[in-house]
Amino acid sequence: MLNIAVFCSGEGTNLQAIIEAVQRGDIKARLSLVVSDNKEAPALQRAKKAAVKTIFLDPQEFPSREEFEKELIAYLQEENIGLIVLAGFMRVLSPFFVQKYPNKIFNIHPSLLPAFKGSTNAVRDALNYGVKFSGATVHFVDEKIDNGPIVLQRVVEIEEDDNEESLRQKIHHQEHIIYPLAIKLFAEGRLKVKGRKVKINPKPQ
């Protein structure tokens, strides 16, 4: 069975959606590990409540990013992790790390990539730019920020009276649908990456 690790830094609402999808049996995989670089992250409490193993690693305690990531990798190897899911993890993973897990790291971004790529607040930027639609994107992580092949996207219409908070909530709602779905497809072996394109194969009968 596929072992999954989720990396979080904050609230962990996407983590909660994943936990619930695993508990329902929608995702045929084991949520083996939740990792955080923030000791106070509510995500850690969500994981503990669901009896998922948690790890807190303080980047400040390591002499370099590579040493921090080597420690991370050691924990992942110990749990035989086959998929890493970034869910509000506020650190950029280095090429050193990404190369260890090619096409085995997911990220979710609150825009329709490549729009507002690399933005630290893509929701606000979408509103300020005046676009009529935004949304959520699940993509594989490569060595560039918000650049890897796109797995799933969901569109959100921006209404005249939307503000940053209301739009964020609408996008979060879609994230909580497509992130567990992308993990489900990965666990079922239905994603095939070819160049920039991700093909979703039909479920075997």
pLDDT values of the chain reduced to their tens digit, one per residue, 205 residues: 999 999 999 999 999 999 999 999 999 999 999 999 999 999 999 999 999 999 999 999 999 999 999 999 999 999 999 999 999 999 999 999 999 999 999 999 999 999 999 988 999 999 999 999 999 999 999 999 999 999 999 999 999 999 999 999 999 999 999 999 999 999 999 999 999 999 999 987 6
Among candidate residues 101, 127, 152, the one where a domain is terminated: 101
Task: Say which CATH number the domain at 30 has.
Answer: 3.40.50.170
Report how many helices (DSSP H) and strands (DSSP E) the chain contains, helices first: 6, 9
Given the DSSP bridges, would you call strands 30-36 and 3-8 parallel, antiparallel or unpaired? parallel
CA distance 125 to 86: 21
Q: Which of 178, 188, 13 is nearest to 83 (CA)?
A: 188
Total tally of structural domains belonging to the chain = 2
Residue 176 bears catalytic tag: no
| Residue 122 sits in the same domain as residue 65 | no
Among candidate residues 43, 67, 101, the one where a domain is terminated: 101
CA distance 203 to 69: 35
User: What pLDDT was estimated at residue 205?
Assistant: 63
Among candidate residues 101, 116, 140, the one where a domain is terminated: 101
Question: What residues make up the domain containing 135?
Answer: 108-205
Selected catalytic residue, list 109, 139, 172, 173:
109
